[in-house]
Amino acid sequence: MATGATLHRPVLLTELLSALAVRPDGTYVDANLGGGGHAEAVLESAGPRGLLLGIDADGGAIEMSRMRLARFGDRLSTFHGSSTHLARAITDAGFSEVDGVYFDLGLSSDQLVDRERGFGIRAGGILDLRFDTRTGESAAELIAQAGAGELEQIFRDYGEEPHAAKIARAIVATRGSAPITTAEGLAALVEQSVPKRYGPPSRIHPATRVFQALRIAVNDELTALSTALAAAIAALRVGGRVVVLTYHSLEDRIVKQAFAAAARVCICPPRVPVCTCANQATLRLINKHPITASEEEIAANPRSRSAKLRAAERLERAA
């Protein structure tokens, strides 16, 4: 996949740089390196002594980004693995505290056209959906083995799919005689299983929620996000910032709740008249409401339509 040229366009780039408040000679962590667009802008903004650690479970993304960012030399270091290992990656890079950590949780355009893993429904290809093909089971293996009840729960919990039960039953009924091993095969089966939509054609394929759910399941994305957020907050120096770009409500809810919990001063039960918990907030919210893409950016890059940006700043540590 790595050719040195990337199709990916970084989403909310100006807004991310502003929220991150990049410092000259600062040290930063890109928790989802992807096509390297955000990393390139951060390294440029951080100046000649600024450092950046890029983390990605997708080895192809790391290879492509290293070629794109070659001019920065040893100012860039990379870690091939899930953001679950963010704390270890920071230690391995030789950082003690960092000035900022940012997450771009969306799929890159390069991944969406990669037929080796089937991320793009219309691009098709092998039904894998793993970011790191060295570990775990593929989506094809999951739907070949899971029962109808398990599949239904995955589609409901991770895809918020209203026809989860019907789709799960169709998969189980089909797979015995015709194994489902390609993105095209699964997409067609889902499309046949859900009620026909009347009116103008939708930009969104009927199988989008199912593919999202399977991708989240095989990569354990929500657990990884919760773990990585906690590690990111712990790694920030005072005044350092954490910025997160999410693309669906499940991710955004985790970020919103994690930031709110870290920004809370008192955690006493509501019935207690006077605070006795001595809790100390560790974050200050930069924006109470998520930042979204402008109409101009959406017109130029439709994938930015669902993006939401949240940011917070590290407060003084407890004595």
Could you give the CA distance from residue 167 to residue 191 in angstroms, rounded to a whole number? Answer: 9
Q: Give residue 152's pLDDT.
A: 98
Name the percent of the chain lying above pLDDT 90: 77
Encode pLDDT of 124-149 as tens digits.
Answer: 789 999 999 888 999 999 999 999 99
- Decide: residue 2, CB within 10 A, 0-12 exposed, 13-18 middle, 19+ buried: middle
pLDDT greater than 90 at residue 16? yes
Kindly state whether residues 101 and 233 are assigned to the same domain.
Answer: yes
What's the pLDDT tens digit per position in 67-85? 999 999 999 999 999 999 9
Say whether both 214 and 252 belong to one domain. no
**Residue 94 and residue 24 share a domain:** yes
Question: Of 219, 236, 252, which residue is a domain's last?
Answer: 219
| 76-80/51-56 β-pairing | parallel
Contacts of 12 (CB under 8 A, 6+ apart): 245, 291, 293, 297, 304, 307, 309
* Between residues 35 and 107, the one the model is more confident about: 35
- pLDDT for the residue 107: 74
Q: What confidence tens digit (pLDDT) does each residue in 279-292 have?
A: 789 999 999 999 99
Whether residues 41 and 97 fall in one domain: yes
Are 99 and 115 in a shared domain?
no
pLDDT digit string, tens, across residues 223-249: 999 999 999 999 999 999 999 999 999
Are residues 231 and 171 part of one domain?
no
Q: How many residues does the structure list for the chain?
A: 319
C-alpha span between 266 and 197 (Å, rounded)? 49
CA distance 125 to 114: 8
**DSSP letter (8 states) at residue 63:** H
Give CA–CA dist 294/305, Å, rounded.
9
Does the pLDDT value for residue 44 go beyond 50? yes
- Domain identity same for 266 and 282: yes
Residue pair 45/69 in contact (Cβ under 8 Å)? The answer is no
pLDDT at residue number 265: 82
Query: Around 221, how many Cα atoms within 13 Å sit in the side-chain half-sphere?
Result: 29
Residue 112: φ, ψ to 5°? -65, -20
In our burial notation (b when 16+ CB lie closer than 10 A, e otherwise), range 244-274 reads: bbbbbebbbebbbebbeebbeeeeeeeeeee
> Do residue 126 and residue 214 come from a single domain?
yes
Q: Is the pLDDT of residue 61 over 80?
A: yes
Q: Is the pLDDT of residue 157 over 80?
A: yes
The arithmetic mean of pLDDT across residues 153-164, rounded, is: 97
- Decide if 6 is inside a domain: no
Q: Is pLDDT of 275 > 90?
A: no
Q: Which two tokens stand for residue 66?
A: 């290293």
Same domain? For 151 and 281 the reply is no
Bridging pattern class, strands 236-246 and 283-285: unpaired
- The answer to whether residue 269 sits within a structural domain is yes
End-of-domain residue from the set 219, 245, 275: 219
The tokens for 278 are 């001595």
Cα 98 to Cα 183: distance, rounded to the nearest angstrom: 40
Q: Check residue 123 and give its pLDDT.
A: 74
By CB atoms closer than 10 A (0-12, 13-18, 19+), residue 207 is buried
Cα(192)–Cα(166) distance, integer angstroms: 10
User: Residue 268: is its pLDDT beyond 90?
Assistant: no
Domain count, the chain: 2
Tens of pLDDT, residue by residue over 196-217, are: 876 566 678 899 999 999 999 9
Half-sphere exposure of 293 (CA within 13 A, CB side): 20
- pLDDT, averaged across the chain: 91
Using the predicted structure, report yes or no on whether residue 17 has a pLDDT greater than 60. yes
Specify the amino acid at residue 252: D
Give the residue numbers spanning the domain of 52: 13-108+221-314
Domain C-terminal end among 156, 190, 219: 219
Residue that wins the pLDDT comparison between 5 and 256: 256
Dist CA 264 CA 282 (whole Å): 8
Given a cut of 70, whether residue 156 has pLDDT beyond it is yes
Give the pLDDT of residue 3: 43
Percent of the chain with pLDDT strictly greater than 70: 92
